Structure 1
Amino acid sequence: MLEIICGAIFPIVVSMMLGYLGASMGMFDRDQATAINRMVLKFALPMDLFVGISKIDRTQILHSGSFAAIIIFWMIGSFFITYWISRFVFKRSVSLATLQALAIGNPSVPFVGSAVLGFLFGGKSALAVSLASLTINVILIPVVFFLLSSDNKETMGNGENWVSHLKNALKQPVVLAPLCAFIWVLSGIPIPRLLDISFIMLGKTTGGAAMFAAGILLCLMKPMINKMVITSVFFRNIAAPMVAWGLAIAAHLSPFYLREAVLTFAMPSASVIVILSNQIKKGEREAASTVFFSTVVSIFTMGALIALTS
């Protein structure tokens, strides 16, 4: 079992370490990391999200009941609870509170979920991955861009009111692509195979390129461990899956779906926070450190949760 977890997590760590090595040898600088992240955010990630969501079976989603409710509402709830605490208790800026909320409310299910959950649960894992991907990319990412655009007019748009900020968010490819794919899925019209295979090539570079760029930034800014990084890793890797476990028990989910719900929320923080922090030029070192330590810690926390829920 440990071999499976390591097989899913280690490629992320290795990609990040290669970026770190490249930067330490003087092969890459901050501007090049920014360029890589821009390519991922504007092209690779939107294509990857479009292809992933377009493969969702709408019948599965409509008949998933309590399991779907836990995945969707706890993912949204963990984001907004974290944002409120970070913004109003710790008095962080809108941008930093948003990035921390995304670190906790956005497990890396689209990148790691298929490998880990697919091995453990087979084809049935597609439902958890699809539900999490839909929630993140159709609901949370638009909210994130709305919040960031209101606090970063120079990099995210210069609108003066919430309508302008919403328009700026909806113009982002990473928001527009999954929304279009979701509407397409609901329409019941099959995605043309030519379009599907055309998006796959660049889309598959998303995870590796994002983590490689994160490694470059980690080398240039040096990993940090502070109160916020420790808090984010604790809530992402331990608290979030434990709450999901409690919700699954309260909802009387079967052992199979309980285990799948817990492990869905046990995934490490997604690398999109590194991409966004680099774009707005705020919290980059903290974001890269959070993703790195969350990924390393997940090897042990996911192993423990697999054993505890088996």
Structure 2
Amino acid sequence: MIETILNGLLPVAFVIFLGWLSCRIGLLQHESAGVLATLVIRFALPFALFLGAAKTPPEKLENIDFGTCLAFGLMGGYLVALVVGRYLFRHDLKTATMQALVCGFPDMAYFGAPILAAMFGPEGFLAVLVGNLVTSIFMLPLTIVLTRVADKKEAGHHWGEAWHILSHALVGAAINPIVWLPLLGVALSFAHVALPDPVLASVDTIARAAGGTSLFALGIMLYGERFAINANVLANIGIKNFLQPGLMALGVALFGLSGGPARQVIITGAVPTATAASMFALKNNTYTADATATILLSTLLGIAIEAALIALLGT
């Protein structure tokens, strides 16, 4: 169990430290994180999601109850956080949306995958792949739409132009590579199209940069950042680390999952916040400090929660 947890934690801590160290010794500046955020959000992460979808056999993507349970837990946490941010903390729409993403988007690919693989073998990657499809099809497009709507309002547009605002936001989301590339991967999977090895190798080269670059950029963001635990961060931790796995457990009961799939979705729900969420916050120039603090605390707490779940659920 200790080895399983270390496999998920140590690489994360090491790369974050390297990012922090690069600023500490003057090789990079705090502002450099913005460039890396663009690399992750516009290129590396979309291609990583595309590759995962394209290489997944279609029969694995057709498990409706499994996918619905993951969607229930992931989107449930996101929507609860959106309401909390908007109406409890009185954030503007863009800030509340970033808070929702921080609470709803778990680090399935880079924290959850090693743990799930260690517990369930190759089948453990199914929760990662289907979970990332849920975020690609529902969560990330909704985030893009809401932030674009917020930008339109800030630019002076009024709700009387709601259809104009929404149509522009939907178009903006549809042409964003983090939305259409994973959908293209799903289409290729269901069409039984096998990409040539040189194409897969080319895509994999940029896709592999997503995890390490996100963590490195997070380390850069941490340097010089005033770390504070406030009501926002505590609420985020409550939603991400406790409510979301609870919603997954509720989904297991509602959709009749059992055995390995049931354990997979609960463990996936307990995975801490993805570093990519802080990249979105940075790109939108809002909620960066609280996002960074949430990711760090969520990761530390996630280790203990995952360890408890591994001991409780076993294999």
TM-score for both structures, normalised by structure 1: 0.92
Query: Once the two structures are superposed, what CA deviation does each residue of 1:49-75 show, in whole Å capped at 9, x if it has no partner?
Result: 11111111211221x243322112221
User: Partner of 2:302: helix, strand, or coil?
Assistant: helix
CA–CA separation in structure 2 for the residues paired with 1:130 and 1:118: 12
CA shift, 1:85, in A, is 2.4
More deviation, 184-193/163-172: 184-193
Aligned to 1:44: 44
Shift of 1:108: 0.9
Which runs of no fewer than 5 residues in structure 1 stay unpaired? Answer: none
Of the candidates 228, 233, 244, which is equivalent to residue 232 of structure 2?
Answer: 228
> Segments of 4+ in structure 1 off by > 6 A?
none
Report Cα offsets for 1:160-203 as digits up to 9, x if no partner.
Answer: 51000111122222222112212222222222322111011121
Whole-angstrom distance in 1 between the partners of 2:32 and 2:152: 23
Residues in 2 aligned to 1:45 and 1:91: alpha-carbon distance in whole angstroms: 31
% same residue:
25
Aligned residues: 308
Q: Give the AA of the match of 1:15.
A: V
Contact in 2 for aligned 1:12/1:295 (Cα 8 Å)? no
Q: Cα offset for 1:154?
A: 11
Q: What SS does the aligned partner of 1:30 have? A: coil
Greater CA drift, 198-207 or 87-96: 87-96
Question: Which of 182, 186, 193 is the equivalent residue of 2:186?
Answer: 182
The within-5 A match list for 1:188-203 is 188-203=192-207
Residue 31 (structure 2) aligns with: 31
Which residue type is aligned with residue 287 of structure 2?
A: G
Residue identity matched to 1:211: L
C-alpha separation in 1, matches of 2:241 and 2:297? 10
Deviates more, 1:206-215 or 1:238-247: 238-247
Alignment deviations for residues 5-32 of structure 1 (CA, whole Å, 9 cap, x no partner): 1211221122112211222222221321
Q: Which residue of 1 aligns with 2:19?
A: 19
Other-structure match for 2:264? 260
Among candidates 211, 214, 220, match of residue 218 of structure 2: 214
Distance 1:183 1:155, change over 3 A: farther
Q: Following the alignment from structure 2 to structure 1, what is the Cα–Cα distance between the partners of residues 153 and 40?
A: 20
Match runs of 1:263-302 below 5 Å: 263-302=267-306
Residue of structure 1 in register with 2:123 after alignment = 124
Displacement, 1:223?
2.1
Distance in 1 between residues matched to 2:31 and 2:120, nearest whole Å? 41
CA distance in 2, matches of 1:33, 1:131: 29
Map Cα deviations across residues 215-252 of structure 1 (whole Å, 9 max, x no partner). Answer: 11111223221111121122212221123223323444
Q: 1:204 aligns with which of 197, 203, 208?
A: 208
Distance 1:73 1:211 in 2: 27
Which has the higher mean CA deviation after the structures are superposed, 90-99 or 186-195?
Answer: 186-195
Give yes or no for the alignment of 1:73 onto 2:72. Answer: yes
- Secondary structure at the aligned position of 1:225 is classed as coil
Q: Distance in 2 between matches of 1:164 and 1:299?
A: 41
For residue 92 of structure 1, give the secondary structure of its aligned residue in structure 2. coil
User: In the alignment, which residue of structure 1 is the partner of 2:253?
Assistant: 249
Native 8 Å contact 2:95 2:286 kept in 1: yes
Residue range with higher mean Cα deviation, 29-38 or 262-271: 29-38
**2:202 counterpart letter in structure 1:** S
Q: Give the Å deviation of 1:155.
A: 11
- The residue type equivalent to 1:302 in the other structure is E
Corresponding residue of 1:54 = 54
TM-score, with structure 2 as normaliser: 0.91
CA RMSD for the aligned pairs? 2.1
Structure 2: runs of 5+ lacking an equivalent: none
Amino acid at match of 2:221: L
Contact between 1:100 and 1:232, CA under 8 Å: does it hold in 2?
yes
AA at the equivalent of 2:111: V
Q: Quote the Cα distance in structure 1 between the aligned partners of 2:20 and 2:242.
A: 27
